[in-house]
Amino acid sequence: MNIEVQLVTRSGNSCELCGATSPLVVYTVPPDRGPEADSCLYVCEKCQLQLTRKEPIDATHWSCLRDSMWSEVPAVQIVAWRLLHRLKSESWANDALDMLYLDDERMAWAKASGEHVAGEDNDLHRDCNGAVLQTGDTVTLIKSLDVKGSQINAKIGTVVKNIRLVSDNTEQIEGKIEGQQIVILTKFVRKA
């Protein structure tokens, strides 16, 4: 049986974390344990964006964990534990974390990815004002920049459209200036 079909049946066609009903996607709980429904969740788009750190974590949205953490599905318990750790500054999350019990095997899985340790701010590309940048955004240079290895001098105020995020460095983006693809430091751009 297809994994998505299994997840739809298991979840009742709603997000296994917050209960939203549309649109839903399959989320594989890291680290990837292979193609099996037990290591995947059926989640809404908002949950997926925050789980993958493409959107800042919204503590209000995650108050749903007080209910979903009691799920019998191991993958739901793992994700709830990780998110509650990321939200430890919220008193309700700390209280819920004190009540959540994981056996040794599930605790090892929960800690395996390290997602519960890193702060979400470190994993987002942000411009000079702290606005979150996304692939496809348009930015404006706030400083004139000499482009290494070329004759191009990118002037202050230059608009760079359709940027791409550098996946392994949150301080860098890629964009085209005068037809040449270059790497730009996020501290020198402002989201348009």
Render 59-105 in DSSP notation, one character per residue: TTGGGGHHHHTT-S-HHHHHHHHHHHHHTTTSHHHHHHHHH----HH
Say how far apart CA 192 and CA 42 lie, in whole Å.
Answer: 34
- Predicted confidence (pLDDT) per residue in 107-125, tens digit: 988 888 766 654 544 567 8
- pTM, rounded to two decimals: 0.62
Q: Where in the chain are the domains?
A: 3-122, 125-191
Question: Phi and psi dihedrals of 56, rounded to 5?
Answer: -60, 150
Say how far apart CA 70 and CA 167 lie, in whole Å.
Answer: 34
CA dist list (Å): 94 to 12, 54, 117: 29, 24, 14
- Predicted confidence (pLDDT) per residue in 119-169, tens digit: 544 567 889 988 888 889 999 999 999 888 788 888 999 999 999 998 888
- Tokens 């040449």 sit on residue: 180
Mean pLDDT, the chain, rounded, equals 88
State the CATH class of domain 125-191: mainly beta
